Structure 1
Amino acid sequence: MSDLDASTPRIFLARHGETEWTKNGRYTGTTDLELTHHGIKQVKGTAIQLVGPGKLIDPGRIAHIWVSPRKRALQTFSLLFNNSSSSIGDGTTIAKTKVTITEDIAEWDYGDYEGLLVGEIRAGRKKRGLDSETAWNIWRDGCEGGESAEQVTERLDRLISEIREIQEPYMNGGNAVDVVLVAHGLILRAFAKRWLNYPIDSPLPLMFSPGAIGILSYKNHDIDEPGFYLGMALPLQD
């Protein structure tokens, strides 16, 4: 059975395209930046290649989409599903009833660390007498004035439960119930950890390029065996 014909539901993770702060590594949580020109090109390229009828992300197979309320994520969603090949030709689009804009998949709230570089955060904490034995690690320590790892875990687990409720009745097909999350680099990596039932501070190195797509699913058509695709063959285009 090919990947395209596989009946097991999938979860597509879509990271927003480049912003000005993405380029220089500044922590971008609640700051409402728009995509750069290059960021727009990144998402459009992904849309052309991967989104549309008969493609990897087929709008006709999507049960629901969750989108972060930040401008960069909303802009990415629009580019992926409104201005991409998914809305050209046969007119396939995503119904508004299938889209939820929610803080549950917003970027980690960095609080006092918003707009800072990792080195600046660590230097500031050291100056305040913190982290005398080990360097600051967001996965473990969270953010002063922002979210803790426990708070992020709680909201992601809530979303995961909602997704599994949609997908569980169709683990062997019957209905196409793929879902999409359009969000941010750190929160999507955190989501992947929780999907795999790892603690959010587990040492699981993950990378996620701007404008990229990640894929999660289940092994053996089993709701209790969440997994991720190390690689997936793309559908053959006529």
Structure 2
Amino acid sequence: MSKRPVPRLFVIRHGETEWSQNGRHTGRTDIPLTEHGVEAIKKLAPEIVGPGKLLDAENLCHVWVSPRQRAHTTFKLLFESLDELPPHKVCEDVREWDYGNYEGLTSEEIKDKDKYWSIWKDGCPGGESVEEMTKRVDGVIEEVHEIHRKYYEEGEGRRDALIVAHGHFSRVLISRWVEFPLCLGTHFNVEPAGISLLTYNHRNLKEPSLTGLNLHAL
């Protein structure tokens, strides 16, 4: 068994937006953080970013950031105290679920169209299906697992990986990480600016676990 620290994946949902405040489904729409969202991230950053803190840039080997500005702004604000941002990849693979015809609608408005609708079993007409979302997220997880394996077994890279993304994406990722069906993501509440910690039980990479949820949520 490796004597290296068990590798970790941090998953951060972007900060508050106008649509996250009023419950509108925000997928491809590229809206900014609210003023309160910006200030909240700035307040959070010194508590969690820095040497010996939860997010230590010296431990980060891979960072994926959604291309939507609400996620990229969150990432930049978190690490703005550093001389330069940690190396990162702006990546469509970690974008939010594509809500298709339901983009910008609240759950109540969607229920007016289809009272039996559930994103967890029906997906989104004109957007991504459950199967498409599962495949996309599973691809991200496979990439993270291989990065973790190389670090833990071969000493390549560093301990931590980070994804800065979105609410439904994060809930799906958590569910699939612990090898649950996508639909069980409905039971995980991911708050704006909440940090999830995904790692492994018993120092065994074959036992993926959810270790923390909504750490330092605002």
Q: Normalization by structure 1: what TM-score?
A: 0.83
Cα 1:196–1:107 change in 2 (3 A) is same
> In structure 1, what is the Cα distance between the partners aligned to 2:93 and 2:18?
24
Residue 166, structure 1, aligned to residue 147, structure 2 = yes
Query: Do the aligned residues in 2 keep the contact of 1:113 with 1:144 (CA within 8 Å)?
Result: yes
Q: Measure, in 1, the Cα distance between the counterparts of 2:151 and 2:209.
A: 16
Matches within 5 A, 1:8-47: 8-47=6-45
The 3 A distance-change label for structure 1 pair 15 and 233 is closer
* Cα-to-partner distance string for 1:127-153 (whole Å, 9 max, x where unaligned): xxxxxxxx2110110001000111011
Give the secondary-structure state (helix, strand or coil) at the position aligned to 1:171. Answer: helix
Structure 2 partner of 1:156: 137
Q: What are structure 2's unaligned runs of at least 5 residues?
A: none
Contact 1:8–1:172, Cα closer than 8 Å, also in 2: no
Q: Comparing 173-182 with 11-20, which one deviates more in the overlay? A: 173-182
CA distance in 1, matches of 2:125, 2:215: 42
Q: CA deviation at 1:207?
A: 1.1
Which of 46, 71, 74 is equivalent to 1:73? 71
Sort the Cα spacing of 1:122 and 1:45 in 2 relative to 1 into closer, same or farther, 3 A: same
Counterpart position of 1:125? 114
CA shift at 1:46, angstroms? Answer: 2.2
Q: How many residues align?
A: 213
Whole-Å separation in 2 of the counterparts to 1:115 and 1:166:
35
In the aligned structure 1, how far is the partner of 2:130 from the partner of 2:213? Answer: 29
Counterpart secondary structure, 2:71: helix
In structure 1, runs of 5+ residues without a counterpart are 1-5, 127-134
Highest Rg: 1 or 2? 1
**Change beyond 3 A, Cα 1:34–1:230:** closer
1:171 offset after TM fit, Å?
Answer: 2.9
d(CA) in 1 for partners of 2:151, 2:214:
21
Q: TM-score, normalised by structure 2?
A: 0.90
What is the rounded CA distance, in whole Å, between the counterparts of 1:74 and 1:144 in structure 2?
A: 27
1:57 to 51, 55, 58: 55
What amino acid is the match of 2:187?
Answer: P
Q: Residues of 1 paired with 2:151 and 2:201: CA distance?
A: 14
> Equivalent residue for 1:201?
183
CA RMSD, 1 decimal: 2.3
What's the % identity of the aligned pairs?
44
- Partners of 1:150 and 1:30 lie apart in 2 by 19
SS of residue matched to 2:209: strand
Q: Deviations over 1:183-222 (max 9, x none)?
A: 0111111100111111101265111111121100011221
